[in-house]
Amino acid sequence: MLATVLEEMVVDAGHTMRKVARLSRAMELVLVRSEPFAAAALDVDVAGEPVFPPAALLREREVPFCFATGYAWPAW
């Protein structure tokens, strides 16, 4: 749901957005960069895998990114 809302906001602002549901695809997009992108929003968990490897690559390539998640605040 968060990705859909974010996508609507990005499209309404006149940009495009691609949602990726597998970590391997995210890594491929960052490594190959077949489609240029200006920034990324990463969920901290993609299908049970932490998203930190593609985040490290984005940082190395100086592509701005942020982390976003649908997880609720933990009850402590």
31-65 per-position pLDDT tens digit: 886 566 788 888 888 888 888 998 998 898 888 89
For residue 44, being part of any structural domain is answered with: yes
| Assigned domain for 17 exists | yes
Task: Say if 75 falls within a structural domain.
Answer: no
Domain that holds residue 21: 2-68
- The pLDDT value given to residue 73: 64
Query: How many domains would you assign to the chain?
Result: 1
pLDDT of residue 56: 93
- The reply to whether 73 falls in a domain is no
Query: What DSSP string runs through the chain?
Result: -HHHHHHHHHHHTT--------HHHHHHHHHH-SS--S-EEEESEETTEESHHHHHHHHHTT--EEEE--PPPP--
Please give the model's pTM, rounded to 2 decimal places. 0.72
In a domain, 20, yes or no: yes
- Closest Cα partner for 32 from 20, 44, 16? 20
